């Protein structure tokens, strides 16, 4: 797509129906960045904003999405009231999802341990969706992790960006998608940080 480099990969055949949504997720981000002339992005806000971008991709794909709804989580003595990050219907499937967001700092005095960061966030999302599915029992349960990147050192972050994307490719997950801004105009946050990429990693339970 114009202005971004991207990749979508689904490792689990039972989730092949999800690919059009992930591709639309890339377009949602691309379109928003382009419409704001690289002065704003959806992914550098909070977890809720990232869930909203995915919900937008679901609606664009012909599905239906409900965010942040109240529900009972867990079973029996472990039951408690809470909020579920996302429920959606798409391609005849009913899906509930719990999400986590973790910022990825690309540069510093030592090499970043991207694998530990990814695994920690993914394990947390997996734990949440297992508990949610314990009571809701929808057809599919997804644990999602959003990973926006940032750096103040653009030149020295190029190698680290490549290493980060390589770690995503080797992560034990059911699917992932990522995009990197290549429009020629960097996305610079209010903290004067370059925030030119985001990844979405998911597992099914």
Beta bridge partners of 73: 80
Q: Which residues contact 172 (CB under 8 A, 6 or more apart)?
A: none
The 10s digit of each residue's pLDDT in 101-136 is: 999 999 866 678 999 999 999 999 999 999 998 888
For residue 126, the Cα-to-chain-centroid distance in whole angstroms is: 13
Q: Which residue has the tokens 């004067």?
A: 192
Q: Can you tell me the distance from the alpha carbon of 96 to that of 133, in angstroms, rounded to the nearest whole number?
A: 8
The arithmetic mean of pLDDT across residues 62-83, rounded, is 81
Q: What is the pTM of this model?
A: 0.94
The arithmetic mean of pLDDT across residues 9-22, rounded, is 97
Q: Which residue has the tokens 């992560």?
A: 171
Of residues 47 and 107, more confidence is placed in: 47
The 10s digit of each residue's pLDDT in 16-34 is: 999 999 999 999 999 999 9
- For residue 154, the model assigns a pLDDT of 87
The helix (run of H) or strand (run of E) holding residue 58 is: helix 47-60
Q: Please count the structural domains in the chain.
A: 1
Of 143, 140, 136, 121, the residue nearest 74 (C-alpha): 136
The arithmetic mean of pLDDT across residues 89-96, rounded, is 96
Residue 138 pLDDT class (50, 70, 90 cuts): confident
Q: Which residues contact 3 (CB under 8 A, 6 or more apart)?
A: 30, 33, 34, 181, 182, 183
Beta bridge partners of 204: 142
**Cα Rg, the chain, nearest whole Å:** 17
Residue 74 pLDDT class (50, 70, 90 cuts): low
Please provide the DSSP assignment of 89-114 as one string: EETTEEEEEEEEE--EE--SSS---H
Please provide the DSSP assignment of 158-205 as one string: HHHHHHHHHHHHHS--SEEEEEEE-SSS--B-TTS-B--EEEEEEEE-
Token digits of residue 81: 């009231």
SS3 118: helix
Q: Print the domain residue range for 82.
A: 4-204
């Amino acid at each position: 797509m114009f202005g971004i480099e991207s990749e979508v990969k689904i490792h689990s055949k039972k989730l092949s129906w999800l690919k059009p949504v992930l591709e639309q997720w890339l377009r949602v981000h691309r379109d928003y960045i382009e419409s704001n002339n690289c002065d704003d992005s959806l992914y550098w806000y909070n977890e809720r904003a990232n869930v909203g971008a995915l919900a937008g991709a679901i609606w664009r794909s012909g599905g239906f999405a409900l965010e942040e709804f109240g529900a009972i989580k867990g079973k029996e003595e472990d039951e408690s009231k809470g909020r579920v990050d996302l429920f959606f219907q798409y391609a005849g499937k009913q899906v509930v999802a719990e999400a986590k967001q973790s910022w990825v700092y690309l540069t510093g005095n030592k090499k970043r341990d991207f694998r530990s960061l990814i695994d920690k966030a993914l394990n947390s999302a997996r734990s949440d969706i297992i508990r949610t599915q314990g009571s809701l029992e929808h057809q599919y349960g997804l644990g999602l992790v959003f990973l926006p990147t940032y750096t103040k050192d653009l030149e020295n972050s190029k190698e680290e960006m490549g290493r980060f994307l390589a770690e995503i490719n080797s992560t034990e997950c059911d699917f992932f998608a990522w995009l990197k801004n290549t429009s020629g105009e960097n996305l610079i946050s209010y903290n004067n940080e370059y925030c030119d990429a985001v990844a979405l990693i998911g597992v099914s339970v």
